[in-house]
Amino acid sequence: MTPDHRIAVCPGSYDPITNGHLDVIARASELFDEVIVGVVNLPLRKGKTLFDVDERLRFITDATGHLDGVRALPFSNLVVEFARENAAKAIVKGLRAISDFEYEFEMHQLNRLQAPDIDTLYLMASPQYSFLSSSGIKELATFGGNIEELVPEQVAARLKEELGR
């Protein structure tokens, strides 16, 4: 690894990964030499996940296989600790709306207190994904909504299997 090798972490629960997440990851991969998609093993904020961490990692690995320098790893510690463990100097997050900004601003401030050497970059959601959330996808899947164009194919199949009525 060269001294100027730029590594970023894209953390999240990814329960499940959506095409909006994939858009942010792909755009981050154009800015950094390596992007580590950090999958929170046991997210505190969102509670129990529908899919276990291994399945979420498989979804991400399959959906990002065409992107150079992208890999998925689980983590169960502070995101700044995870970034340090992986030599990342940046955390990349996607923002959809003002409500995302308010939460992410607070997290950024807390992260900077813990690790002033790790910065956070925000990518605005592409317009076609500005409404997309994992929880919204799960609700659509529960009630038989069309999710095929919102998530990778294997994710859509598994959601229908788990949540379809």
Q: What residues have CB less than 8 Å from 142, skipping those under 6 apart?
A: 163, 164, 165
Q: CA dist 40 to 28, 128, 144, Å?
A: 19, 26, 28
Average pLDDT over every residue of 25-30: 98
Average pLDDT over every residue of 98-122: 93
Fold observed for domain 7-127: Rossmann fold (3.40.50)
Average pLDDT over every residue of 43-59: 86
Residues above pLDDT 90, as percent of the chain: 87
pLDDT tens-digit series, residues 86-97? 999 999 999 998
pLDDT in the model for residue 98: 83
Q: Which residues partner with 9 through β-bridges?
A: 36, 91
**DSSP element (H, E) containing 37:** strand 34-40
Q: What residues have CB less than 8 Å from 88, skipping those under 6 apart?
A: 7, 8, 9, 36, 82, 118
pLDDT in the model for residue 122: 96
Average pLDDT over every residue of 130-139: 93
Instruction: Report the candidate in 80, 115, 107, 114 with the shortest Cα–Cα distance to residue 9.
Output: 80
Residues above pLDDT 70, as percent of the chain: 95
pLDDT band at 4 (very low <50, low <70, confident <90, very high): confident
Q: Sign of torsion, CA 146 50 101 6?
A: negative
pLDDT, the chain, mean: 93
The span from the CA of 15 to the CA of 101, in Å, is: 20
pLDDT tens-digit series, residues 53-77? 999 999 999 999 999 999 999 999 9
